[in-house]
């Protein structure tokens, strides 16, 4: 029987800590904990989706249950290591918090964790999306979490840490997973593409990384889809067309039209985007990033920049950014996406030229004091 295709995100899941990219601070801390034998009984992994929380939990479980005792580099080919990594180990139990969130299920877990592990050194419970547990389920877990049996370790993973009860958080060591930088994602995808025999343009990889928003798994899923669409060769335009993006060059042009108050160019650009079937909300996000770059340039250059084609102050750029940000909800959920998008862009352009009332008052006060000074000199 022919083996089923395994997606890139699963095939390239890290098998050792060295392969986990973008989370060096977490890898270093877990390695030190293993080497110094300072193993806590509960860990909370917090961060955006696709940044390596579950992979790190499995790698940690694999290292703790290595043959011959905990090791930072356990053998990949041992039976226990393979069982842990493919999710079939009896002593490393992965639980989906979304579908196992009742108090009765947590009580069963409490009873089960009293039994010693059958083939490993530690019995490890990995609870994904732990914030989905009910309050009663959390409370049922508290006592066990505070004083678990010596052979039990809990690893909780969540994308919404604010929903986890403080009484649970206080009993855990907390690890913050960061969004992975675009350049790190591009480097990893280039390695994958080379190994898979796929030719991908650097601009295409950059577009995939931009789409992934810091998630390595998302970027690998996008690459997988692009390979299905394009075959052995992927160009930037392919990614832009499939996902409704526009090129960085066109985003720069649109930002320049906002900066120069070129309303005709703004309207023409929106018409073109709609005809091409582009994702207007995504364009808005990319436009915010472009204006933010101009704002940072203004901050570094004594309060003004010409990156958008005309001289703009930090105050003008902040007003433009505010208008773009506030308009996001109307573009995403409004009745007419095109009209709302046009209004947001035109308003952002106008806002860049409006001035805060306190700034105007300060200038008027300065002018008044200057004129008074001149009058006194004439009298003298």
Q: What is the pLDDT of residue 270?
A: 94
In this model, does residue 288 exceed pLDDT 90?
yes
In this model, does residue 15 exceed pLDDT 80?
yes
Q: What is the pLDDT of residue 227?
A: 92
In this model, does residue 369 exceed pLDDT 70?
no
Q: What is the pLDDT of residue 76?
A: 85
Of residues 95 and 269, the one with the higher pLDDT is 269
Q: Would you kindly state where each structural domain of the chain is located, as residue ranges?
A: 8-176, 182-243, 277-357
Exposure on the CB side of residue 187, measured as CA atoms within 13 A: 9
Percent of the chain with pLDDT over 90: 41
pLDDT in tens, 122-136: 899 998 888 888 888
Helices (H), 114-214: 135-146, 166-169, 182-196, 202-212
Q: Could you tell me which residues come within 8 angstroms of residue 186 by beta carbon, excluding any fewer than 6 positions away? A: 202, 205, 206, 208, 209
Q: What is the pLDDT of residue 102?
A: 74
Look over the chain and give the mean of its residue pLDDT values, rounded to a whole number. 86
Which CATH class, in words, describes the domain spanning 8-176? alpha beta
Q: What is the pLDDT of residue 3?
A: 61
Average pLDDT over residues 136-154: 84
In this model, does residue 82 exceed pLDDT 70?
yes
Question: Looking at 53-57, 73-77, 134-138, 275-279, which range is the least confident one?
Answer: 134-138
Q: How far is 74 from 64, CA to CA, in rounded Å?
A: 9
Average pLDDT over residues 207-227: 91
Helices (H), the chain: 8-11, 24-35, 53-64, 79-85, 103-112, 135-146, 166-169, 182-196, 202-212, 216-230, 236-243, 248-259, 263-276, 280-300, 314-326, 328-333, 337-351, 357-379
Q: What is the pLDDT of residue 111?
A: 83
Q: How confident is the model at residue 137 (pLDDT cuts 50, 70, 90)?
A: confident
Of residues 357 and 119, the one with the higher pLDDT is 119
Q: How confident is the model at residue 266 (pLDDT cuts 50, 70, 90)?
A: very high
Do 182-243 and 8-176 fall under one CATH topology?
no
For the entire predicted model, the pTM comes to 0.80
In this model, does residue 177 exceed pLDDT 90?
yes
Q: What is the pLDDT of residue 248?
A: 87
Assigned CATH topology for domain 182-243: Helicase, Ruva Protein; domain 3 (1.10.8)
Q: How confident is the model at residue 362 (pLDDT cuts 50, 70, 90)?
A: low
CA angle, residues 131, 70, 122, in degrees to nearest 5:
50
In this model, does residue 289 exceed pLDDT 60?
yes
Question: Looking at 22-26, 140-144, 209-213, which range is the least confident one?
Answer: 140-144
pLDDT in tens, 107-121: 888 888 888 888 888
In this model, does residue 380 exceed pLDDT 80?
no
State how far Cα 25 lies from the chain centre.
16
Average pLDDT over residues 160-178: 90
Of residues 195 and 370, the one with the higher pLDDT is 195
Q: What is the pLDDT of residue 213?
A: 87
Q: What is the pLDDT of residue 90?
A: 87
Q: What is the pLDDT of residue 283?
A: 92
Q: How far is 72 from 127, CA to CA, in rounded Å?
A: 22
Question: Looking at 34-48, 106-120, 166-180, 289-303, which range is the least confident one?
Answer: 106-120
Q: How confident is the model at residue 373 (pLDDT cuts 50, 70, 90)?
A: low
């Amino acid at each position: 029987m022919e083996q089923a295709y395994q997606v890139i995100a699963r095939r390239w899941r890290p098998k050792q800590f060295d392969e986990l990219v973008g989370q060096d601070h977490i890898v270093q801390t877990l390695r030190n904990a293993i080497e110094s034998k300072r193993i806590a009984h509960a860990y909370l992994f917090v961060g955006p989706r696709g940044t390596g929380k579950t992979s790190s939990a499995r790698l940690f479980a694999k290292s703790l249950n290595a043959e011959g005792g905990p090791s930072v580099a356990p053998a990949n080919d041992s039976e226990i290591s393979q069982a842990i990594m493919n999710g079939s180990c009896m002593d490393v139990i992965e639980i989906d918090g979304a579908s196992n969130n009742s108090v009765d299920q947590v009580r069963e877990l409490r009873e089960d964790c009293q039994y010693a592990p059958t083939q490993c050194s530690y019995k490890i419970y990995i609870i994904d999306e732990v914030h989905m547990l009910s309050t009663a389920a959390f409370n049922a877990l508290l006592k066990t979490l505070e004083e678990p049996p010596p052979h039990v370790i809990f690893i909780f993973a969540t994308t919404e840490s604010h929903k986890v009860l403080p009484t649970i958080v206080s009993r855990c060591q907390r690890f913050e997973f960061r969004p992975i930088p675009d350049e790190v994602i591009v480097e990893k995808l280039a390695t994958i593409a080379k190994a898979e025999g796929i030719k991908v343009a650097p601009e295409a990889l950059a577009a995939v990384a931009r789409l992934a928003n810091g998630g390595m798994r998302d970027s690998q899923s996008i690459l997988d889809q692009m390979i299905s669409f394009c075959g052995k060769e992927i160009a930037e335009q392919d990614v832009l067309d499939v996902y409704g993006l526009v090129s960085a060059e066109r985003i720069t042009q649109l930002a320049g039209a906002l900066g120069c108050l070129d309303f005709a160019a703004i309207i023409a650009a929106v018409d073109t985007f709609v005809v091409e079937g582009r994702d207007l909300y995504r364009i808005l996000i990319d436009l915010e990033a472009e204006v933010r770059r101009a704002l940072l340039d203004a901050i570094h250059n004594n309060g003004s920049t010409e990156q958008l084609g005309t001289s703009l102050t930090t105050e003008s750029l902040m007003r433009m950014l505010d208008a773009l940000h506030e308009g996001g909800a109307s573009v995403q959920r409004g009745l007419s996406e095109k009209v709302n998008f046009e209004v947001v862009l035109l308003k952002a352009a106008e806002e860049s030229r409006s001035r805060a009332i306190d700034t105007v008052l300060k200038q008027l006060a300065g002018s008044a004091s200057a004129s008074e000074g001149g009058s006194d000199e004439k009298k003298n």
